A and B are shown apart, each in its own frame.
Chain A
Amino acid sequence: MSLEVKHLSKFYGQQKVLDDVSFVAEKGQVLGFLGPNGAGKSTTMKIATGFLLPDEGDVLINGISVLDKPKQVSKLIGYLPEHNPLYMDMYIKEFLTFIGGLYEMKGKAIKSRIDELIILCGLEVESHKKIHQLSKGFRQRVGLAKALIHDPEVIILDEPTAGLDPNQLVEIRKLIKNISADKTLILSTHIMQEVEAICEKVVIINKGKIVVSDLLQNLKSDKGKSILILETEEALDLNWFNDLGKAEFHNDRFTAVSIRTSDAVASRKILLQLIQEKSLSLISLQQKERNLESIFHQITHN
């Protein structure tokens, strides 16, 4: 079971919000879908679930087109929309029974599945309440239970951890990790630690275009992307660092420079020599490995 996004384009009026977006999510893999606000994450997910129609392109769920057979595909997808819409006047079990009914589940099957999900999503304590009485974290769990009720093969979660407290965050992540074992799971988020904690594959979208689509492992082990930050008492000249790699002032201070370099060890030596030659007074020299956050920042900045 896989999800394949093929050359999606979408316009909102004149604005092109998706531009030839393609990527593939495989079974057993958690795909982190990242991007700044307004990059097109939710739009892509809404198209994948059949809620919006693309202007061009298609989404295939296990080879079945969302455009041709939206209702057949919708049975395979569990979807947690952004902002997690719920029927506030319903009790949790009533809501889940209603959703089960939409997916043509029958009385007993629904009941046992709901009991299962209430435990799985940690809703036991709150299970007698109406949804509007729940805190945001618990509503999020109800949304997650809603997405899982028909045991879908493909799970699409649009910012599942938005607005949760740190403890809930850890629990929900654990839950997502648990259910992802034999499913295809896509989640969008702004939180980079989250991606590093639970995703195997990362797709970054910026201004409607896919800019990165790779395994997290590959991205992180991408050598030659260390960053050295040198800070001195004196003002620095960017021309001194021309041989080392791309240099720029760090935090807009003339006394600090960050250098992106391919060989951190050699660069460090050269930097120390430079300090002696120019007789600079060193405040600090730090080395940063490129993490997802810096990759994200670099790619989606400007």
Chain B
Amino acid sequence: MLSLYWKEVNAFFNNLSGYLILGVFLVSLGLVVWVFPETSVLDYGFADLEPLFIYTPYIFTFLIPAVTMKMIAEEKRSGTWEILMTSPVSIPKIILVKYLAALTLVVVALLPTLIYYFSVVQLGDPPGNIDHAGFFGSWIGLVFIGAVFASIGLFGSALTSHQIVAFIWGVFISFLMYFGLTALVQIQIMSPFALFLEEISLSFHYQSISRGVIDAQNVAYFLSVIIIMLGLTGLWIRRK
């Protein structure tokens, strides 16, 4: 179990593409939060990190499938999947461990953004004048969004033995879950289901957690989406 976990984490950091993914993520976030005039916190006038929380999910829809796309697809392509499947580690454990490894990488990618928090705390006038609960609620919301996207990405990776196809599936399903469902609500014909669609969309629960209140309902929603995606991954693998 542990050995598989470290293998996954090491595979990410022993590879240049791992650092590329992390680098691109942090650079683009840095640009959005501090440089681009439209969204820059420095020009905003309030000690607030809203751009971080608005734009990170967009970047996540690409970043996280890129992290997870290899995890199953590449093993299938290279045949090493056979090593795992014929080992005493069961399929649910393999999926869970790979998922935890992906989640670790998501958190590692997010950790540097805590520096933004301390920067804005210092920039506030007087220093420390920031909505702490709002920040941490949103930050934990981001972790949940990342956790959900990671489960979706892993599912995408299980669908195929091509990394690129896995990536596209991951991006597509993440996009649908986060933006797509909310957007559908605006179609007239969907109006009877509007509330339902709204409630199963990720962005709805993310916005609700961003207010700084970590509600059991939202947490339950995120956890159930994760469990459903991982369960589907397991079913898809077992189907063969």
Contacts and interface: CB of A to CB of B under 8 A. Distances in A.
Contacts of B7: 87, 98
A183 interface: no
B85 A102 contact: no
Given A81-B79, A85-B78, A97-B3, A102 B11 contact: no
B108 interface: no
A271 to B, nearest CB: 54
B104 interface: no
Contacts, number: 58
B87 A103 contact: yes
A89 B11 contact: yes
B82 A81 contact: yes
A258 interface: no
A17 to B, nearest CB: 15
Given A51-B85, A51-B86, A101-B3, A89 B79 contact: no
A52 to B, nearest CB: 8
A81 B3 contact: no
In this complex, the member of A51, A79, A87, A102 whose beta carbon has the largest number of chain B beta carbons within 10 angstroms is A102
Contact of B80 (A86, A97, A104): A86
A117 to B, nearest CB: 16
Contacts of B2: 101
A174 B52 CA distance: 63
Interface string A91-122: 00000011111111000000000000000000
A21 to B, nearest CB: 19
In this complex, the member of B4, B11, B15, B86 whose beta carbon has the largest number of chain A beta carbons within 10 angstroms is B86
Interface in A31-87: 46, 49-51, 71-72, 74-75, 77, 79, 81, 83, 85-87
B129 interface: no
Contacts of B3: 97-98, 100-102
Nearest to A71: B88
A31 B79 CA distance: 25
A74 B86 contact: yes
Contact of A85 (B1, B14, B80): B80
B88 to A, nearest CB: 5
Nearest to A150: B88
Contacts of B1: 101
Interface string B1-31: 1111001000100110000000000000000
Given A75-B88, A98-B3, A101-B3, A51 B15 contact: no
A188 to B, nearest CB: 15
A98 B89 CA distance: 12
A87 B88 contact: no
Nearest to A100: B3
Contacts of B78: 85, 87-88
Contacts of A75: 88
21 contacts: A51-B82, A71-B90, A75-B88, A81-B82, A83-B79, A85-B80, A85-B81, A85-B82, A86-B80, A87-B78, A87-B80, A98-B3, A98-B4, A99-B83, A101-B2, A102-B3, A102-B83, A102-B84, A102-B87, A102-B88, A103-B88
Interface of A: 46, 49-51, 71-72, 74-75, 77, 79, 81, 83, 85-89, 97-104, 146
Given A49-B86, A81-B83, 13 more contacts: A50-B85, A51-B86, A74-B87, A75-B88, A77-B86, A85-B78, A85-B80, A85-B83, A98-B4, A99-B83, A101-B1, A102-B89, A146-B83
